[in-house]
A and B are shown apart, each in its own frame.
Chain A
Amino acid sequence: MKRHWVTTVVLSSALFGLTAWFASRSATGAPPAPAGSSEANVSVSTAAKGVDARRAMIARGEHLVLSSGCNDCHTPLKMGKNGPEPDMTRMLSGHPEAMKLPPPPAATMPWLVAAAVTNTAWAGPWGVSFTANLTPDLETGLGGWSEAEFAQAIKSGRHRGRGRPVLPPMPIPAYRNFTDDELAAIFAYLGSVPALKNRVPEPLPPAPPKVAHG
Chain B
Amino acid sequence: MLALAALLTHPAPAQLARETGPKCASSAVATAPVARPAEHGPLPTLLSQTGLYRPGSTTEIAPENRLYSPQYPLWSDAAVKRRWIGLPPRTQIDASNPEEWQFPSGTRFWKEFSFAGARVETRYLERLSDGTYRYASYVWDPALGDARLAPEGGLPGVSELAPNVQHDVPSREDCRVCHEGRSTPVLGFRALQLSTERDPLAPHREAIPSGSLTLEVLMSQGLLTNFPREWASRTPRIDAPSATARAAAGYLFANCAHCHNARGPLATLDLDLDQELIPTGYSTMLATVAGRASSYRLPGADSSQRVVPGRPQESALWFRMQSRFPAAQMPPLGTKIVDRDAVRLLDRFIRQM
CA distance A152 to B264 in the complex (A): 14
| A185 interface residue (CB < 8 Å to B) | no
CA distance A183 to B159 in the complex (A): 37
What string of 1s and 0s marks CB contacts (under 8 Å) between A54-88 and chain B? 00000000000000000000000000000000000
Q: Is A11 a contact of B2 with CB atoms below 8 Å? A: yes
Q: Is B332 a contact of A127 with CB atoms below 8 Å? A: no
| A163 interface residue (CB < 8 Å to B) | yes
Contacts of B4 in A (CB 8 A): 126, 165, 167-168
Q: Is A164 a contact of B327 with CB atoms below 8 Å? A: yes
| A96 interface residue (CB < 8 Å to B) | no
Q: Is B332 a contact of A156 with CB atoms below 8 Å? A: no
Q: Is B328 a contact of A124 with CB atoms below 8 Å? A: no
Query: Smallest CB-CB separation from A125: which chain B residue?
Result: B3
What string of 1s and 0s marks CB contacts (under 8 Å) between B303-342 and chain A? 0000000000000000000000111110011000000000
Least CB distance from B141 to A in Å reads 28
Q: Is A162 a contact of B177 with CB atoms below 8 Å? A: yes
Which of the residues A113, A124, A161, A173 comes within 8 Å of B9, measured between beta carbons? Answer: A173
| A157 interface residue (CB < 8 Å to B) | yes
Given A112-B2, A155-B173, A202-B297, are A160 and B327 neighbors across the interface (CB < 8 Å)?
no
| A146 interface residue (CB < 8 Å to B) | yes
Contact size range, B: 20 to 34
Query: Smallest CB-CB separation from B1: which chain A residue?
Result: A125
Contacts of A202 in B (CB 8 A): 296-297, 299, 327-328
Which of the residues B265, B299, B328, B329 comes within 8 Å of A162, measured between beta carbons? Answer: B265
| A176 interface residue (CB < 8 Å to B) | yes
Contacts of B25 in A (CB 8 A): none
Given A161-B177, A162-B177, A162-B259, are A168 and B328 neighbors across the interface (CB < 8 Å)?
no
CA distance A18 to B245 in the complex (A): 41
Contacts of A163 in B (CB 8 A): 259, 332
CA distance A171 to B349 in the complex (A): 41
Contacts of B236 in A (CB 8 A): none
Q: Is B265 a contact of A146 with CB atoms below 8 Å? A: yes
Chain B residues touching A, majority SS: loop
CA distance A89 to B268 in the complex (A): 30
CA distance A163 to B326 in the complex (A): 10
Query: Smallest CB-CB separation from A204: which chain B residue?
Result: B299
Contacts of A50 in B (CB 8 A): none
| A196 interface residue (CB < 8 Å to B) | no
Q: Is B327 a contact of A167 with CB atoms below 8 Å? A: yes
Contacts of A204 in B (CB 8 A): 299
Given A173-B7, A173-B9, are A205 and B325 neighbors across the interface (CB < 8 Å)?
yes
| B181 interface residue (CB < 8 Å to A) | yes
Q: Is A158 a contact of B332 with CB atoms below 8 Å? A: yes
CA distance A158 to B9 in the complex (A): 12
| A172 interface residue (CB < 8 Å to B) | yes
Q: Is A113 a contact of B328 with CB atoms below 8 Å? A: no
A89-117 interface (Cβ within 8 A of B): 112-113
CA distance A163 to B266 in the complex (A): 10
Q: Is A157 a contact of B7 with CB atoms below 8 Å? A: yes
Apart from A160-B266, A163-B259, list 8 A-B contacts with CB within 8 A: A126-B326, A148-B265, A149-B265, A158-B332, A162-B259, A162-B265, A164-B328, A164-B332
22 contacts between A and B (CB under 8 A): A11-B2, A125-B1, A125-B3, A126-B4, A144-B268, A155-B173, A156-B173, A157-B9, A158-B332, A161-B177, A162-B177, A162-B259, A162-B266, A164-B332, A165-B4, A165-B7, A165-B326, A167-B7, A167-B327, A168-B2, A168-B4, A202-B296
For the complex of A and B, the 9 pairs showing the least CB-CB separation, nearest first, are A203-B327, A205-B325, A162-B177, A164-B332, A164-B327, A163-B332, A157-B7, A126-B4, A165-B326
